[in-house]
Amino acid sequence: SQQGEEDPQALSIQEGENATMNCSYKTSINNLQWYRQNSGRGLVHLILIRSNEREKHSGRLRVTLDTSKKSSSLLITASRAADTASYFCATLRDYKLSFGAGTTVTVRA
Amino acid sequence: NAGVMQNPRHLVRRRGQEARLRCSPMKGHSHVYWYRQLPEEGLKFMVYLQKENIIDESGMPKERFSAEFPKEGPSILRIQQVVRGDSAAYFCASSPMARVEDEQYFGPGTRLTVT
């Protein structure tokens, strides 16, 4: 069964606004990763947060992890049109990555 | 340092034909993983291989699908007698030998269309 579940399924925002998406999972994990996928393209790794970390930053990205609630959030600040894509969280347990169905983000110019 | 290479990028097969998908991991990586992405869905784990060994094939359909990672050459995902439901994007990832919890680096994927 799918481990990660993203929320919302779709998000439409104005350029310059922040975008926040959430991910919930069911079992213990080694780490949680966020990926971006542009329409019909490959996956781009955005950020990895280990199970003993609570928050991580990378450029305009901020990821939080709450292992007690089994949830994570991805915040994209000051969004740009180029951020339009699908975003997936993936949990790693042992060697298997389990992906959610993704959040489709549309950034309007 | 070249990334994970997959070929072909697009593959069209008629029902009943065989599909062979190739994956060359990043240099120095000896762990290979195959994932399948159906339309409008996330990626699903299929199989995990090390050189000459299948470690976990729990995500592989029981019939028609096989995978190998020989001592020399790329990893191959083989689908025999393809059906329309096999149409999907197939992604390969690799990771370094040291720790399996390390990041998996993904290739660009092979998009299989079965007509």
Q: Model confidence at B98, in pLDDT bands (50, 70, 90)?
A: low
Distance from C-alpha of B3 to C-alpha of B5, rounded to nearest angstrom:
6
Select from B56, B95, B106 the Cβ nearest to the Cβ of A42.
B106
Distance from C-alpha of B26 to C-alpha of A43, rounded to nearest angstrom:
15
Q: What pLDDT, on the 0 to 100 scale, is given for residue B1?
A: 55
Average pLDDT over residues B35-62: 92
Average pLDDT over residues B7-26: 97
Distance from C-alpha of B1 to C-alpha of A88, rounded to nearest angstrom:
26
Structure tokens at B62: 């029981």
How many residues in total does chain B contain? 115
* Probe site for chain B from A35, A86, A96, A104 (most B CB atoms < 10 A): A96
Residues from chain B that touch A21, judged by Cβ atoms under 8 A, are: none
Average pLDDT over residues A73-98: 92
Is the Cβ–Cβ distance between B42 and B62 less than 8 Å?
Answer: no
Q: Model confidence at A2, in pLDDT bands (50, 70, 90)?
A: very low
Q: What pLDDT, on the 0 to 100 scale, is given for residue B101?
A: 64
Check whether A107 has a pLDDT greater than 70: yes
Chain B: give the shortest CA distance to residue A71, in Å: 18
How many residues in total does chain A contain? 109
Select from A31, A101, A102 the Cβ nearest to the Cβ of B101.
A31
Higher pLDDT, B100 or B90: B90
